[in-house]
């Protein structure tokens, strides 16, 4: 069975959201709102209201990075300072907490930022081959609604898009 | 009088067009500016080569003046870097959307200021080849750097801040790099294709982007505070009179924000004029930035006054002598100029007509930064000139070598910035689109027609028209 990817380009968010609302109401049998990929030049603040909650695990990685940075930072410093055991400390502790706090804090932030970056790149699916049916109009001023559907559903979907004044429809077969 | 931060009717396509146009075809003025910056950098390189061969003495850096303009300028550039954090991170978290047209170049300033600042600890060493001693690197005798020293903290802090701010700048630019990719040709297209990482504007990408950007902003704020606190620790953790002051960390942070804001005003005026960004860098946005600068100037003024009152009230003899010498000693003209530029001059910002006058704001912002640079010099040098041992008292004036390197740093910063604005968008296109979109939704045309007050409105009717 052949599957097709259909992209509808709309002039603004209102028209695109209206089209998605109809998809949510199963106006195209067999097509779910969970299959919708919304492409836009900006992030609409209400996009989650329209598409529903979708996961983004960036904060968990950030927390993991911060904890790793803090632990690594302190242990790194402490293990380096432990090599001074053979030397006179002038009455100071071998592992001084006040000064190590400052450097541990810096490491916490550094690794927190690095883990955030990595989780963003992985989570957002960057570095992969560009998704099909990319339109340069999306980076300009149009909003795209893209779905992968069965071939027999494609015509109904395009008709739905047309009802909401779609500017352009593009499609291609899934390879 | 322009009252709106931005014209909400501006088309998204026009935003792309205007910003992308600013990256094309540099005019002769641009190349003249590049030439001046390159000349300044070359002079600084020659001065450094001479200093490298002859020793720090040619810069008049002799005991007890081991730190002078180099460290003062180092603090100045670190301070300048706080502009991006303030405008981008803090105002992003509090949803102040007026920052959107101007935060990109402020973030770039942060990164380039740090790249400039990082040169000075190397240069002031004299033995520049030993710079790696501050890195967490074990020697062949199993010895590590002294992690108790604030100088080592500096290395950690600057590395973390430079890495984080550069990543913050880059991540925030990815959607715009995709716009550039879609509109560029030749080598630029290849560059933007690589840098945009395959951005396609999907809801998944935006969702992760928003969270990552917010979290990075959250990290950057405490980081900025810690970096300048650490720089202040270079002084405050010593026992030198005039430096061993509890209020130094907040004083340094306030000074950093002040000079950063002043630099934003300077670059705001220049970019608006040269790139014709009148529709994005509007007078109301300038006014908001100026008001913020005024508030920070008052915080900074309060803190330096408190610093001196504490020395006066504390009665520590060496501290009081340093204080008196700053007002009456050989460096007093610079100290008084600092007070004038940093504390008196900001009161010009209280006048609306001046706040909205671009040439005035340009000159005033330069003077603010002159005051802030003098402030750093007046922290470093007077204390070294008159510390605890009278036999070591020595007034020192920087030599041509030091001045050449200091001026060269401004050329280096300018060069980096000039290259940036021609390769990367200096106004965030997608954020300006967001700003326009949100504001457009809040303006209902029919209500505006019905209720807005206009010049042609009927005049009030009086009871006695004859009087």
Beta-carbon contacts of B127 under 8 Å, excluding residues fewer than 6 positions away, are none
Quote the minimal CA–CA distance from A27 to chain B in Å.
22
Which pLDDT score, from 0 to 100, does residue A87 have? 64
**pLDDT band, very low/low/confident/very high, at B26 (cuts 50, 70, 90):** confident
- What is the percentage of chain B residues whose pLDDT exceeds 90? 64
Quote the minimal CA–CA distance from B359 to chain A in Å.
34
Task: Kindly determine whether residue B203 and residue A38, on different chains, have CB atoms separated by under 8 Å.
Answer: yes
Q: Which residues of A touch B211 (CB under 8 A)?
A: 56, 58-59, 120
Beta-carbon contacts of A174 under 8 Å, excluding residues fewer than 6 positions away, are A2, A3, A4, A5, A148
Highest mean pLDDT: which of A110-119, B84-93, B229-238?
Answer: A110-119
Residues in chain A, pLDDT under 70: 1, 84-88, 130-131
Candidates B16, B147, B212; nearest CB to A100:
B147
Residue in A with minimal Cα distance to B153: A103
Candidates A99, A127, A130; nearest CB to B148:
A99
Determine contact, residues B247/B306, Cβ cutoff 8 Å.
yes
Beta-carbon contacts of B89 under 8 Å, excluding residues fewer than 6 positions away, are B168, B216, B217, B218, B220, B221, B224
Give the tokens for residue A8: 């509808």
Task: Kindly determine whether residue B182 and residue A128, on different chains, have CB atoms separated by under 8 Å.
Answer: no
Answer whether residue B456 shows pLDDT above 80: no
Mutate to test the interface with A, among B153, B202, B436 (most CBs of A within 10 A): B202
Task: Kindly determine whether residue B206 and residue A100, on different chains, have CB atoms separated by under 8 Å.
Answer: no
Q: Which residue has the higher pLDDT, B238 or B451?
A: B238
Which pLDDT score, from 0 to 100, does residue A48 have? 81
Q: Dihedral of the CA atoms B188, B189, B190, B193 (nearest 10)?
A: 120
Asked if the C-beta of A67 comes within 8 angstroms of chain B's C-beta atoms, the answer is: no
**pLDDT band, very low/low/confident/very high, at B452 (cuts 50, 70, 90):** low
Which CATH code of 3.40.50.12370, 3.30.70.120, 3.60.15.10, 3.90.420.10 fits the domain covering A3-53+132-173? 3.30.70.120
pLDDT digits (tens, 9 = 90+) for B348-402: 999 999 999 999 999 999 999 999 999 999 999 999 888 888 888 888 889 999 9
Residue in B with minimal Cα distance to A145: B202
The domain limits of chain A are 3-53+132-173, 58-123
Quote the minimal CA–CA distance from A101 to chain B in Å.
10
Which pLDDT score, from 0 to 100, does residue B3 have? 77
Task: Kindly determine whether residue A81 and residue B230, on different chains, have CB atoms separated by under 8 Å.
Answer: no
> CA-CA distance, B225 to B252, in Å (whole number)?
9
């Amino acid at each position: 069975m052949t599957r097709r990817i259909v992209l509808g380009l709309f002039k603004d968010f209102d028209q695109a959201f209206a089209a998605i609302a109809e998809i949510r109401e199963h106006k195209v049998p067999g097509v779910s709102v969970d299959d919708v990929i919304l492409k836009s030049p900006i992030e609409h603040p209400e996009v989650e209201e329209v598409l529903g909650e979708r996961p983004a695990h960036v904060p968990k990685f950030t927390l993991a990075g911060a904890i790793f940075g803090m632990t690594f930072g302190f242990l790194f410093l402490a293990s380096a300072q432990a090599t001074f055991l053979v030397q006179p400390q002038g009455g100071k502790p071998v592992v001084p907490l006040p000064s190590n706090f400052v450097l541990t804090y810096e490491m916490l932030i550094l690794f927190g930022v690095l883990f955030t970056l990595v989780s963003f790149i992985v989570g957002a699916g960057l570095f992969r081959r560009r998704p099909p049916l990319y339109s340069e109009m999306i980076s300009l001023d149009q909003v795209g609604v893209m779905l992968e559907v069965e071939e027999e559903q494609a015509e109904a979907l395009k008709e739905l898009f047309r009802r909401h004044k779609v500017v352009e429809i593009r499609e291609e077969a899934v390879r | 009088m322009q009252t709106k931060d931005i014209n909400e009717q501006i088309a998204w396509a026009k935003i792309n067009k205007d910003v992308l146009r600013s990256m094309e075809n540099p005019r002769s003025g641009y190349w003249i500016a590049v030439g001046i910056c390159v000349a300044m950098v070359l002079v600084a390189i020659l001065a450094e080569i001479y200093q490298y061969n002859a020793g720090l003495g040619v810069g008049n850096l002799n005991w007890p003046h081991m730190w002078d303009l180099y460290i003062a300028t180092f603090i100045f550039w670190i301070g300048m870097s706080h502009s991006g954090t303030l405008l981008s991170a803090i105002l992003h978290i509090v949803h102040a959307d007026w920052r959107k047209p101007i935060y990109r170049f402020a973030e770039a300033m942060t990164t380039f200021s740090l790249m400039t600042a990082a040169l000075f600890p190397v240069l002031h060493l004299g033995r520049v080849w030993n710079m790696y001693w501050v890195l967490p690197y074990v020697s062949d005798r199993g010895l590590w750097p002294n992690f108790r020293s604030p100088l080592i903290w500096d290395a950690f802090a600057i590395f973390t801040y430079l890495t984080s701010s550069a990543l913050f700048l880059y991540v925030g630019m990815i959607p715009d790099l995709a716009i550039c990719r879609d509109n560029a040709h030749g080598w630029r297209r290849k560059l933007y294709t690589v840098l945009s990482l395959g951005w396609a504007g999907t809801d998944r990408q935006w969702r992760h982007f928003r969270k990552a950007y917010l979290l990075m902003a959250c990290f950057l704020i405490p980081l900025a505070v810690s970096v300048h606190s650490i720089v202040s620790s270079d002084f405050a953790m010593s026992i030198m009179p005039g430096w061993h002051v509890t209020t130094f960390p907040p004083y340094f942070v306030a000074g950093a924000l002040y000079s950063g804001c002043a630099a934003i005003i300077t670059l705001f005026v220049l970019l608006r004029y040269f790139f014709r960004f009148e529709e994005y860098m509007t007078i109301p946005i300038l006014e908001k930035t100026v008001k913020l600068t005024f508030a920070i100037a008052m915080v900074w003024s309060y803190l330096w006054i408190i610093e001196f009152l504490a020395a006066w009230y504390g009665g520590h003899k060496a501290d009081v002598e340093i204080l008196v010498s700053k007002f009456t000693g050989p460096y007093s003209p610079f100290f008084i100029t600092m007070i004038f530029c940093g504390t008196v001059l900001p009161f010009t910002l209280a006048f609306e007509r001046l706040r909205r006058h671009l040439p005035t704001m340009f000159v005033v912002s330069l003077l603010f930064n002159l005051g802030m640079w003098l402030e750093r010099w007046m922290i470093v040098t007077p204390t070294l000139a008159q510390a605890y041992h009278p036999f070591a008292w020595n007034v020192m004036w920087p030599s041509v070598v030091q001045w050449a390197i200091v001026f060269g740093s401004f050329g280096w910063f300018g060069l980096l910035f000039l290259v940036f604005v021609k390769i990367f968008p200096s106004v965030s296109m997608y954020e300006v689109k967001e700003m326009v979109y949100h504001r457009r939704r809040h303006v209902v045309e029919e209500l505006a027609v019905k209720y807005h007050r206009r010049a042609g409105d009927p005049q009030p009717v009086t009871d006695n028209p004859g009087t």
